[in-house]
Structure 1
Amino acid sequence: MKQQTLFRVILFLYSVMLLYFMFAGFHRYVHDNYRYNLIPLHTISAYVRNLSLDHIIDSAINLIGNIAVFIPLGFLIPASLSRPWSYGRFILIFSSLILLLECMQTLLRVGTGDIDDLLLNVIGGSIGYLLFRRYETKAS
């Protein structure tokens, strides 16, 4: 199997898993109202302010998890393309997709559409993209 084809299969499987967890996993249910945050750094600063032994796991899962879970996508998307995008094009399309997912979570009322999640997810995607570029340089 060609390496690019393998990356495409992994990208598909990872995307399906990610969509499941964003819309159905973690005991998600439909809320009575729309939940969203449009104030940049509001949620992040609340997690940082509330750091204590009692809340460190929740804070770490939210902050680190929202970055870490998108690192593979940042790697797999350019690895799946026949000609990888520039970082500018990648970040524009990646950010647009994350924004769409956050809006869908809000409209379907199965999560919270949060600008801070978008920021953290884009950081994760950027790390993955940089790892891909490093991998690509070493492979050639």
Structure 2
Amino acid sequence: MKKRIYYLCIVLYLAAAAWILFFFPFNSASRLDTSIRRYVNPIPLETTTRYFHNAIYRDAAVHTQALILNVGGNILLFVPMGILLYNLRQRLGYKALPFWGAALISLSVESIQILCRVGNFDVDDIILNTLGSLLGASLAALLPLLQVYTAEP
């Protein structure tokens, strides 16, 4: 029964992540509007730096919300992916799977978004998604340790 619930959680997470990554309208313009000009940003941390700069030096309320949605959302969206990849890593024995797996999945998502014209290709998203996966893998690695210390004698 636990395995079924685990697999159901995986399917629900993947479905929700796909909807967020490809169909969720993050602004007033729909992601499915192909008339909107899409862009490719290959420069690491350029977009994230711009979000921080705008939140500090411009309208803080508006730009802070955009900063949290972009940076926080990209990290948090891949935390469960890191947990899944960590569990898969234990089965396969490939220690770098949470890092390389998340980076390749994120690269694939960014490529699909630009090719299908439902988003932009931003290297910052790959960096933040991979960071989120590493955070999730770290949490998955720490969970057994926390259970040992919180178990009653």
> TM > 0.5 between the two?
yes
From the superposition, tell whether residues 133 and 71 of structure 1 become closer, same or farther in structure 2 (CA, over 3 Å).
same
Q: Which is higher, the Rg of structure 1 or of structure 2? A: 2
Gaps of at least 5 residues in structure 1 are none
Total equivalences in the alignment: 139
* C-alpha displacement of 1:73: 1.4
From the superposition, tell whether residues 135 and 25 of structure 1 become closer, same or farther in structure 2 (CA, over 3 Å).
same
Q: Deviations over 1:43-96 (max 9, x none)?
A: 001001101233111111111111111111111333367716544133112211
The secondary structure found in structure 2 opposite 1:40 is coil
1:8 match? 7
1:107 match? 115
Judge conservation of contact 2:82–2:137 (CA < 8 Å) in 1.
Answer: yes
**Percent identity (aligned):** 27
**Alpha-carbon RMSD:** 2.2
In structure 2, C-alpha distance between the alignment counterparts of 1:83 and 1:119, rounded to whole Å: 25
Output the TM-score relative to the length of structure 1: 0.86
2:135 is aligned, of 122, 127, 139, to: 127
From the superposition, tell whether residues 42 and 85 of structure 1 become closer, same or farther in structure 2 (CA, over 3 Å).
farther
2:151 match? none
In structure 1, C-alpha distance between the alignment counterparts of 2:85 and 2:10, rounded to whole Å: 7
Q: Which has the higher contact order (CA 8 A, sep 6+)?
A: 1
1:45 is aligned, of 37, 44, 49, to: 49
From the superposition, tell whether residues 117 and 80 of structure 1 become closer, same or farther in structure 2 (CA, over 3 Å).
same
Gaps of at least 5 residues in structure 2 are 149-153
* C-alpha displacement of 1:5: 4.1
Judge conservation of contact 1:94–1:122 (CA < 8 Å) in 2.
Answer: yes
What is the identity, as a one-letter code, of the residue corresponding to 2:53? R
Judge conservation of contact 1:28–1:110 (CA < 8 Å) in 2.
Answer: yes
1:20 match? 19
2:77 is aligned, of 69, 84, 96, to: 69
What is the identity, as a one-letter code, of the residue corresponding to 1:110? V
The secondary structure found in structure 2 opposite 1:50 is helix
In structure 1, C-alpha distance between the alignment counterparts of 2:86 and 2:17, rounded to whole Å: 18
What is the identity, as a one-letter code, of the residue corresponding to 2:77? V
